[in-house]
Structure 1
Amino acid sequence: MSPFVAEFIGTMMLVLFGNGVVANVVLARTKGNGSGWIVITAGWGIAVFVGAFCAGDFSGAHLNPAVTAAMLIAGKLPWSAGVSYCAAQMLGAITGAALVFLFYREHFKASDDAEGKLACFCTSPNIRNLPQAFFCEVVGTFALILPIFLIVTPSLTQGDVPADTDPTLGLGSLGYLTVGLLVFGIGLSLGGTTGYAINPARDLGPRLVHALWPIPGKRDSDWRYAWVPVVGPLVGGALAAIVYKLIA
């Protein structure tokens, strides 16, 4: 399987499971309605593990443009691969969000909460202070990517990619579980302010689906906020890569 297809499938599964658990909790008349934040954060941790497990052996399971950008800055991914990875992640996130809507379509119809419907696709701050929300997304993504770099084993080469630019991260199955637990922990500890997007594709792709699809009873897609979960994670990832290069 090509890295492009792997990133597409992995990110699609990430969003299907991750936004799926949000829909199960917030939409009306679901089995999981009202089950709360811990269920959402646990579901997102599992989503990361599933997506990473699907893609890991083929692309390194970045599943996140902030991870890809950090890998580029750290010199662990050929620059020629960056655009391909990010395009696959965006397309995968869009597809995953569309599947969530189709899966929960009857519950979208049954729900009157326009804010909850938006939350099934993308993030928003609980207190609307955009500079503070930006700071939270930077810190949350930094707390994701620096530990990923620190738990990576010295990577073996894959194909004709030099060892110092191996996109696979060298995590292995146990490492993907560790990253899933890391995302679970970030959600529990740092997710209460913005909903911890920590991934531009995971937020922007589904936001586009929310904007374009005829979802009954929806509100606007909050484009005034949309730059925060895109730029914040990219900055946080870049800072993590810079710190890693300084201490590695």
Structure 2
Amino acid sequence: MREEQKYVTYCLGIKVNQGIVMISDSRTSAGVDNISSYSKMWRYGIPGERQFVVCSAGNLATTQAVITQLEAEMAKGAKENLNTVANMAEAAAYLGRVNVKAQKGNTGGGPLFECTFLLAGEILGAASGLFMIYSAGNYIATSNHKPFLQIGEAKYGKPIMDRVIDLETPIESAALCGLVSMDATLRSNLTVGPPIEMNILEAGTLQPGYYTSYSEDDEFLRNLRASWDELMKDAFQRLAPLPWQPGQPSQSNF
């Protein structure tokens, strides 16, 4: 019997007043004896004019087709490409069209070839933005009430984001929260795995920003995980006690 391949990922973007944080894992398949990795983050831009970070989740062939077209159209100076769009909404719409085309091009489309993207960036003279582009080509943006977006295996890392992130969160704290969110996902789902990539775009700078990649045995991530575990245990011990004692009879409402 052929072993089933699972293509799962976790990518997240956080948009706060000070900038945007993008984080992605790199696992593309996970079976009993077949684990591989592939970067799911791409960075483009012209310093002082525009900057973009793209993350993906879904079919790897579709992802590669989309990225190939994005890069080819920038290289040849096509009429529409990431270097010509006027604002981030136009960039999201353009990426959506490329995504739909890639899904249908050689496959005929269908759920097996679907792919979703996160697109973050800023263009001179326009507002910065963080968008999720769906497989159908449509998209949504972050809002004041929801300043973060997730694709892939989102459920494990969402609770910490809901509790911590708002527009006023300092960008360094947002990055740490995103890494804790990623760590929670790594612990709960083995199909999400390192290297973990992170890119921080500071608002208004129009520069490539801070990029780093964390390996599985990275000392910083180990220390972050250990610190978070200890803080969680300490917080649990500080909870108000349950109003119950061993041997105490139950109270009836009847």
TM interval, short-chain normalised:
under 0.3
Q: Which has the larger radius of gyration?
A: 2
Query: TM-score normalized by structure 2?
Result: 0.26
Q: Which has the higher strand share?
A: 2
Higher relative contact order (CA 8 A, sep 6+): 1
